[in-house]
Structure 1
Amino acid sequence: MCLGIPGQIVAVADEDAMLCVVDVSGVRRSVDVVCVAEPGAPLSDLVGAWVLVHVGFAMSRIDEEEAAATLKVLTEIGEAAAEMEALTKGSVDLYPARTQ
């Protein structure tokens, strides 16, 4: 299953490449922020923002309460561990094997 997992932008990694560092429950990865950046605004304006991260992209902005609630639900249903493992390894399997 592919999920967006909440993370907080903690730093700008590369302004020209539109990359920021996102912290997801203690795991930090560079992600593309082109979908959430304001045109013409510096990426430093995003530091502190909460976003949903999916396959190396920040897909949308969310507030801190929504981030906490989403992480809680993902943990409860056991999906957070798989997403955290993918973030830790730095890759996500876009086409996982399916069993019938």
Structure 2
Amino acid sequence: MCLSVPSQIIAIHDEELSVTVESLGVQRKVSRHLYMEPLEIGDYVLIHIGFVMNKIDKEDAEQSLALYQEMIEKLEDADQPCSI
């Protein structure tokens, strides 16, 4: 199973048909070869195996990111030793 975390475009590299995205504090460059619709800095996209697959609504992206952050925090809390 693959979970696609929404990523926000922070740079566009037209000459390489790629964009740099940021998601949950991680930045990486991904290909636009499979998504040829116009993209702008600030857009949210979903990535699969290093390719932009589609653009998503900002509100939906922010809701998803909030849920992922909540899951991360709960997992981190679960790793804490129990003090009784």
Q: Counterparts of 2:49 and 2:68 in 1: how far apart (Å)?
A: 16
Q: Could you tell me whether the CA contact under 8 Å between 1:7 and 1:53 is conserved in 2?
A: yes
Q: Could you tell me whether the CA contact under 8 Å between 1:5 and 1:54 is conserved in 2?
A: no
Q: How do 1:51-62 residues align onto structure 2 when only pairs under 5 Å count?
A: 51-62=45-56
After TM superposition, the score normalised by the length of structure 1 is: 0.59
1:64 aligns with 2:58: yes
Listed as ranges, the gaps of 5+ residues in structure 1 are 82-100
Q: Counterparts of 2:25 and 2:69 in 1: how far apart (Å)?
A: 15
Greater Rg by CA: 2
Listed as ranges, the gaps of 5+ residues in structure 2 are 76-84
- Equivalenced residues, count: 73
1:10 aligns with 2:4: no
**Pairwise CA distance, 1:35:** 3.1
Deviations along 1:11-49, whole A, 9 cap, x unmatched? 123x233111001122110011233332xx6xxx52221
**Pairwise CA distance, 1:77:** 4.5
1:25 aligns with 2:24: yes
Q: Runs of 4 or more off by more than 6 Å in structure 1?
A: none
- Provide the identity percentage: 36
Deviations along 1:31-79, whole A, 9 cap, x unmatched? 11233332xx6xxx5222110122211111001111111123334455x
